[in-house]
Structure 1
Amino acid sequence: MEITAALVKELRDRSGVGMMECKKALVETGGNIDKAFDYLRKAGAAKALKKEGREAKEGVVLSYIHPGAKLGVLLELNCETDFVAKTEDFVNLGNDIAMHIAATDPLAVSSDNISNEIIEKE
């Protein structure tokens, strides 16, 4: 199957991965977009595994106080470099995560905070 620019664009829009990686995935999977998406997912997992042991010593501490001040979230978001920690995108990500935590009203936000009773129930 011919790998067209439209096919590469479709996979890129769906996956958020760069054009060259999308094209490579499509070539490897014979132009099948679903298989290419899975290929990219596995490739991403492999890249993440390579970075697994690296320490994230930098980061930010962010807070979100819900209107009415009855609910608040304090979030520590870590990264590998202070350069990343200072970017607007990283801070916005932290703010978005804090707002989502507040919006979902979770039982716990860390596996350490989940009681055995809840684990057994689920």
Structure 2
Amino acid sequence: MGRNVLVVSTVEHGEDVLRSRLGTDVDEVKVVVPVVQQGFLDWLANDELAASAAEQVAAHLADELPRVSEARKGEADVVLAIQDALATFDADEVVVALHPEDEAPFAERVAREDLRPSVQGVPVRAVVIRDGA
């Protein structure tokens, strides 16, 4: 029996690492890309360029990962993006792909402090990926 996995990625090119982390026992994958690729002032202004870029990354990951049923952009707050996705997707686990701290955009640095081992009872596994890895 396979797993339902929510993939939340702030990394633009992490598909190879994510694919290997998912393994072969996956029934369904939902991809959410938080809108974190923006500066502080853009974050306050709800930057549409960053939202469009997140949509493109989500579409790319949907093409590259197995069994993706949905892929979309999410809230800049990574934990809120997870909570929103769990409201409509019955995940067995959450895999969060993050930049190393020294490469993380502002919104990701703010949100990563709130990451916990589980959200709404669903285990969360963080994977650090250098962009282009």
TM-score for both structures, normalised by structure 2: 0.25
Higher strand proportion (structure 1 or 2):
2
Larger radius of gyration: 1
TM-score for both structures, normalised by structure 1: 0.27
Higher helix proportion (structure 1 or 2):
1
Structure ranking higher on relative contact order (CA contacts 8 Å, 6+ apart):
2
